[in-house]
């Protein structure tokens, strides 16, 4: 009995030794789904509106005088934007300017934006107001952020006419799109026109006397809703008798433009008191049969109340607005003939 007991005990004592000499392990998997981050885009402070290269206004290439939302062929609107994609800036497929009839993503792409390569990891421009919810972003992360320059040039009327929403938009490789918050609403290539109500008729005039016309209305007849503001000018030519009548006024068969003057009213302003006006408030007409920049400062209808860029508040007409104009003819003596061949021109330049 003793020998059997000892054998059983020996076996029992050996079991723990076998367990301690062995290791065992197992593992479990994990489930992670990386967010497909919808890219973000912010408009920063560098926003410009530029004139075309054909006919620039008083202020040159800058359109600082443009205070309504209209633009013509060749003019440009530009923005600097900041783009962010937490999946990586290289995940951004494209950044572009869109034009369409509604706000938001998915309008027609008109111009691609240019990525800037001078990112230095510095502070974000305060004007970008870059935020994710309430979190304000302060520093550039070059792995997830980049600046872009976006420049839209207005195309001809055949492809751009009327009112449009425009904005810059970012799209990533997953097709996720975002626009910056500040969508803009523009009237592209509005029709500009002048309206003249009345006729310049002096009737029969005695040589050596003054005659006055009926009052004309000269108005801005641009497209409704366009907001086009017109800077107004007047020029003219000498006048001639188209018939073979032996005309002479006073020394040759020509009636000088200098015989004509005009009086104009636009709201609170008139030609009365201008340095070139006579006692009645009538001012002379500048010679010219076409419009160009040489008329600045010499041919405005009412050059009063100077504002930024060399423009005159009294000389500007909004759509539908009109100036009242009366003309005076001081017919020379002697004078003979009916001088109906010649012109007085009215010009309106969109500012």
Contact 122, 84 (CB under 8 A): no
Quick count: other Cβ atoms within 10 Å of Cβ 163? 15
**Residue where a domain terminates, one of 142, 168, 188:** 188
> Residues 122, 217: one domain?
no
> Residues 208, 63: one domain?
no
Q: Is residue 22 part of a domain?
A: no
Quick count: other Cβ atoms within 10 Å of Cβ 122? 9
> Residues 224, 328: one domain?
yes
Q: What is the pLDDT of residue 230?
A: 97
> Residues 178, 199: one domain?
no
State the alpha helices, DSSP H only, in 21-164.
none
> Residues 171, 260: one domain?
no
> Residues 137, 223: one domain?
no
Domain that holds residue 149: 40-188
Spans in the chain with pLDDT lower than 50: 1-15
Contact 146, 126 (CB under 8 A): no
> Residues 125, 255: one domain?
no
Reply yes or no: is the peptide bond before residue 273 cis, omega within 30 of 0: no
> Residues 77, 96: one domain?
yes
Q: Is residue 24 part of a domain?
A: no
Q: What is the pLDDT of residue 33?
A: 84
Q: Is residue 26 part of a domain?
A: no
**Residue whose tokens read 């320059």:** 149
Number of domains in the chain: 2
Token duo for residue 306:
């100077």
Q: 266: Cβ–Cβ under 8 A, 6 or more apart, which residues?
A: 301, 302, 314, 315, 317, 321, 323, 324
Token duo for residue 238:
């000498």
**Residue where a domain terminates, one of 161, 188, 215:** 188
**Residue where a domain terminates, one of 171, 188, 205:** 188
pTM of the model: 0.84
Q: What is the pLDDT of residue 271?
A: 98
222 HSE (CA, 13 A, CB side)? 23
Q: Is residue 31 part of a domain?
A: no
CATH code of the domain containing 225: 2.60.40
Q: What is the pLDDT of residue 225?
A: 93
Q: What is the pLDDT of residue 5?
A: 41
Q: Is residue 28 part of a domain?
A: no
């Amino acid at each position: 009995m003793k020998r059997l007991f000892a054998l059983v005990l020996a076996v029992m004592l050996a079991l723990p030794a076998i367990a301690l000499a062995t290791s065992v392990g197992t593992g479990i998997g994990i489930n992670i789904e990386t967010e497909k981050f919808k890219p973000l885009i912010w408009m920063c402070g560098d926003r410009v509106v530029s004139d075309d290269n054909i006919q620039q206004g008083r202020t040159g290439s800058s359109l600082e005088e443009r205070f309504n939302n209209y633009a013509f062929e060749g003019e440009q609107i530009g923005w600097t934007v900041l783009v962010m994609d937490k999946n990586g800036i290289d995940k951004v497929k494209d950044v572009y300017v869109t034009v369409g009839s509604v706000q938001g993503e998915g309008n027609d792409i008109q111009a691609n934006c240019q990525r800037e390569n001078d990112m230095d990891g510095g502070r974000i421009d305060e004007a970008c107001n870059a935020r994710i919810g309430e979190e304000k972003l302060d520093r550039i992360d070059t792995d997830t952020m980049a600046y872009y320059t976006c420049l839209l040039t207005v195309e001809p009327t055949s492809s751009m006419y009327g009112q449009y929403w425009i904005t810059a938009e970012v799209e990533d490789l997953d097709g996720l799109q975002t626009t910056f918050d500040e969508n803009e609403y523009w009237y592209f290539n509005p029709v500009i026109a002048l309206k003249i109500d009345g006729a310049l008729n002096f009737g029969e005039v005695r040589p050596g006397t003054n005659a006055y016309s009926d009052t004309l209305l000269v108005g801005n007849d641009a497209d409704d809703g366009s907001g086009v503001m017109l800077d107004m000018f007047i020029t003219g030519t000498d006048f001639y008798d188209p018939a073979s009548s032996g005309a002479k006024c006073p020394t040759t068969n020509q009636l000088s433009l200098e015989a004509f003057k005009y009086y104009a009213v636009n709201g609170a302003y008139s030609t009365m008191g201008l340095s070139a006006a006579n006692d009645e408030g009538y001012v002379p007409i500048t010679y010219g049969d076409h419009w160009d920049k040489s008329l600045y400062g010499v041919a405005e209808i009412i050059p009063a109340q100077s504002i930024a860029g060399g423009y005159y508040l009294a000389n500007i007409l909004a759509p539908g607005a009109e100036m009242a104009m009366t003309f005076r003819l001081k017919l020379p003596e002697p004078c003979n003939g009916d001088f109906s061949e010649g012109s007085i021109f009215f010009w309106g330049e969109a500012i």
